[in-house]
Structure 1
Amino acid sequence: MTWPYKTSRHQSRTRRSVVRYAKIQAILTWTAAQLCSDWTWMAVAFRQHDARLRAVAFLLWAHMVSGFRQARAEEHLRIRMQKFQSRKTRLVLRAGRVAEAQIQCKRRELQSQAFLRWRYCFQESSKAPSDGAEMAALSQTHRAYRQKVYRLVKRGCRTELANWLQAWRLSVRFSKMMDECSLQQQEMLLQVERSNMWILQLQEERREVEVSRGRLRFHNEWCRRDHLGADASCQSECGRPHRQMRRDTSLHHHRYHHAHHAAVNSVGEAALSQVDNMQDPRPADKFGGPQDNDRLDEVGLGNGTQPKVEGKRAWSQWACALMCASRATDGCCSYKDDSGSCEFLPGSPTRTAETGWTQAQCIPGFGTAKCTPWSAGRCAGAEPEPASPGLPVWELIWEDHFDSETCVPDTAGVLRPSPEFWSAEIGYKRGKELQWYQPKNAECKDGALIITAKRERQAWEKPQGPQCQVVNWDSSEQPLDNISCAVCAPPYFQYYNPCDLVRNDDSGGPACDCSESAEFTSASLMTRGKKEFSYGLFELRAKIDTRPGAWSSWWAVGDFDYVPWPKNGEIDIMDAFQRMVKASVIHAGESGLPSSAIQHADARMIDREWEKYYHTWQLEWDEDFIEIRIDGEVILKLDLSVADSKRTSWPNPFTEGKKFFMILNLAVGGHSGGDASLTQFPSQLHVDYIRVYQKKGTTVS
């Protein structure tokens, strides 16, 4: 390494001083630059003849040495701090061990005191056992434990002594518990054996009583029909009222009656002796109500015009009072004893003293009524009504179980819903729903109809080609191309011309086919023109899916000539979406426009667990009301007078026997379905069956 600067001897002193300081500064700068790359410069500088260069090198060397010493001092201080921290930690641990040792010493002291007390008690108790239990405690095993304890005491092993003492006590306690458990087990076995014997005895006695009762019923029938004839002759023959004998469920009264005709065998006699003390505890009803078997002969359901049957009343006074009370309204109840006629007059009618009649006033309350005791007379006023309105009698007129008997295979062998009952919708139909309806999404499988909603493409995927294409259409009727059909697809969803034009074939599909670009596909079935109904009972059993985007529906729409919605009326029996089931009835408002449609609805919240199972929806539709039920629970009940022309300015679509057709579909999205992007498709609607009943009448007509 060479030095880049040289000094001239012929320069002046001042100039030499300036140059000297400049050289020193340059040397320092150059030295700092070379410090990290080459350390041999220091040896070269000491060999130079220039004393100033040697001085600078010495100063730099001294500075480096002082830096090294400072670093070594810092490292030494750090090491000392670490040693101090470790020593402090050891002191803390030592203090903890000292405290623990003090606790152990205290514990050993307490154990030694307890041992001294125990040794004194043990020596006192082992001197002279007082009874057999103490003798058993001093068995060979216990004596071995005691000897071990004494040896430990002599050695001064207090910890081992405590362990042996605990083991000894546990041994004594365990032996006592085992003895007690064995005794309890033996007692339980004895009780089980006694219970089995009692059960067998009771079963045998029950069989004997049943045999004797069967003989009694047979003998009573024989006595009444073949041997004694009428009830009066049977009374004279047996010496007691035959009616009372039939009423008594015990066999006590039959023994006297049976003695006139036949002897009872030993088995029957044993059973009769066990029930001799049975009594009929119930007194006569204050309304003249029958007791026990009398009710089987006298209580009937019917109206007040039912004639007398074989000399017996159609029903009793007691049954008449119950039927009048079931009206739950203020009124008067009349009963005729000889014919069994039962009448009801609402309100507060007058009373006449007509012979053979009794009457009672009924006062309503809490959903029922209480009738006063019977008194002579008859309720007079308007035309009387039957006391009981009766129950409806339904007749099955149509059903579809979606099995191999009703479903029809297609060209691929897949069972499809019967075209005799159902027509499949094709295309975008209503409510800005995202699905394209097509028949192949509905199939019959495992005895059920399965409608599947599928995702055909993602929303961000662009369809190949135009959104809609013209299929089987004659342009001479109306010019139509792919561009004009684009309004039928999302996001426009136009449902009128040209989207309502039908193809020139038998498929019934729209001329603007948008199926290739559809994001979702599903199926919709309807019975229009094939199965249409008016009043009746409609029933469906289904399993639904109400995740976001899925919208299952079963609804009915009026099919009237040239009457648009909502004037034709709509009944939503099943509307299931977004964890909710809804039932509603829709009709027109005063303007008759769709925007002013009136909806009467009710809904229930459900959960995912509820959707795992099949449930039953019912619509009961009569001249006066509509009632919708789910699993027997009433969801909506509507008085049909709410849709009369006096209120809406339009004819009531639900009365006068107007015909409605059914629609069964699974939609995606739309006004109520929700956000379909939150659900992993496919989604399915399972339908077990659909049944339709018509009312034939009631049980009193």
Structure 2
Amino acid sequence: MKNLLKCVGLCVVLFAWLACSSASAQNYQLVWSDEFNNDGVPDPSCWNYEEGFARNEELQWYQPDNARCKDGLLLIEARKEHRANPLYKENSTHWSTSREFVECTSSSITTAGKKEFLYGRFEVRARIPVGKGAWPAIWTLGSNMEWPSCGEIDIMEFYRKGGVPHILANAAWGTEQQWNAKWNSKAIPFAHFLEQNPDWASEFHVWRMDWDEEAIRLYLDNELLNEIKLQDTCNGSLGDNKNPFMQPHYLLLNLAVGGINGGPVSDATYPIRYEVDYVRVYQKK
């Protein structure tokens, strides 16, 4: 009898959760999605490419060739390559121009100027690489100010902190100092997810952001990872004391390698593959 009551109790809880989830979903309507169902390049009406060395002293040279749609997936692949760095300057001390060669290529695609959204539910189903040196991300930026006053939301980042793999969920905004961000960051050891599912890395997972006038809530497979209250996210004077999360943002999907957070990577790690099943954006009816 005790086991029966326990089972009934669990069913009641599950039913309540499903009812709540369904009610929540009914408050949203799909406003844009990319299912990546057409083989070839990502839809040019939605996506742009970053090119070259971008940020964070990362190893990869971004280029369009490393992003392709195939069999219903967006595939972003980092590859070991060796060719001359067209930005190279002898005796330069800047990380992007002091490198004589490009040693690794990858892709970063963005919806800047094409698909930008203010508030809503964002869902991305993906299988991420977790090898040493991999730094995949799902994130957003505002487009009307210099970083970080434009606002940054990291729906997903994966990299090693102190040599230990973590999944991160963050937001950043401006301060009184140029290029110096205020962060609200949560880093969850990857072991937390492996304890729940030893096969986690071989499977697809859903990252979700629920963003409204009050808060940004970041989830992984319905587990809340971080909640950022918008009452706490106003820029400093360099950002006109505005709240960067009360303006439209665009999406970025990228696979970085190495750099200040990715850390060292061995040649055996390549090629590194990041697979995205879909991107969906919902807004309240």
Coarse TM-score class (shorter-chain normalised): 0.7 to 0.9
Superposition deviation, residue 609 in structure 1: 3.1
- Checking the alignment, whether the CA contact within 8 Å between 2:69 and 2:75 is kept in structure 1 is yes
1:487–1:609 CA distance, 2 compared to 1 (3 A): farther
Q: Secondary structure at the match of 1:518?
A: strand
Residue 174 (structure 2) pairs with residue 585 (structure 1) = no
Q: Aligned-pair distance for 1:681?
A: 0.8
Q: Are 1:672 and 2:254 an aligned pair?
A: no
Large movers: runs of 4+ above 4 Å:
488-491, 645-649
Q: Distance in 1 between matches of 2:201 and 2:170?
A: 21
One-letter amino acid matched to 1:695: K
Distance in 2 separating the partners of 1:624 and 1:439: 37
Check conservation: 1:546, 1:580, Cα contact below 8 A: no
Residue 436 of structure 1 corresponds to 61
2:276 aligns with: 687
Aligned to 1:486: 88
Matches of 1:693 and 1:653, distance apart in 2: 20
Q: Which has the higher helix share?
A: 1
How far the C-alpha of 1:671 sits from its partner, in A, is 1.1
How many angstroms does 1:584 deviate by?
A: 0.1
**Contact conserved, 1:548 with 1:678, CA < 8 A, in 2?**
no
The Cα offsets for residues 247-280 of structure 1, whole Å up to 9 and x where unpaired, read as: xxxxxxxxxxxxxxxxxxxxxxxxxxxxxxxxxx
**Larger relative contact order (Cα-Cα within 8 Å, sequence gap ≥ 6):** 2
- Go from structure 1 to structure 2 and tell me whether the alpha carbon gap of 1:447 and 1:639 turns closer, same or farther (over 3 Å shift): same
**Structure 2 Cα separation of the partners of residues 593 and 633 of structure 1:** 34
> CA shift at 1:679, angstroms?
4.6
Q: Aligned to 2:27, what secondary structure does the other structure show? A: strand
Aligned to 1:81: none
Identical amino acids, percent of aligned pairs:
37
State the alpha-carbon separation in 2 of the partners of residues 439 and 429 from structure 1: 14
Aligned to 1:399: 33
TM-score, normalised via structure 1 length: 0.34
* Equivalent in the alignment of 2:3: none
d(CA) in 2 for partners of 1:551, 1:671: 10
How much is the aligned-residue C-alpha RMSD, in angstroms? 2.6
Larger radius of gyration: 1
C-alpha distance 548-642 of structure 1, shift in aligned 2 (>3 A):
same
Q: 2:51 & 2:91 partners in 1: Cα distance?
A: 13
Tell whether 2:208 aligns with 1:618. Answer: yes
8 A Cα contact 1:468 1:489, kept in partner? no
Query: Normalising by the residue count of structure 2, what TM-score does the alignment of the two structures yield?
Result: 0.81
Determine the structure 2 residue equivalent to 1:545. 129
Paired residues for 1:68-79 under 5 Å: none
2:183 aligns with one of 580, 584, 599: 599
Q: Structure 1 residues 646, 437: CA separation in 2 closer, same or farther (over 3 Å shift)?
A: closer
SS at match of 1:429: coil
Q: Secondary structure at the match of 1:654?
A: helix
Distance, in Å, in 2 between the alignment partners of 1:528 and 1:646 is 24
Contact kept, 8 Å, 1:428 with 1:493, in 2: the verdict is: no
Structure 2: unaligned runs, 5 residues or longer: 1-22
| Cα distance between partner residues in 2 of 1:490 and 1:443 | 34
SS at match of 1:618: strand
2:14 equivalent in structure 1: none
Contact 2:216-2:227 at 8 Å conserved across structures: yes
> Is the Cα contact below 8 Å between 1:402 and 1:417 reproduced in 2?
yes
Tell me the distance in 2 between the aligned counterparts of 1:621 and 1:581. Answer: 20
CA contact (8 A) 2:157 2:167 kept: yes
Provide the secondary structure at the position in 2 that maps to 1:564: coil
Report the Cα distance in structure 2 between the residues aligned to 1:490 and 1:549, rounded to whole angstroms: 25
Q: Distance in 1 between the 2:208 and 2:32 partners?
A: 15
Return the letter of the residue paired with 1:611: A
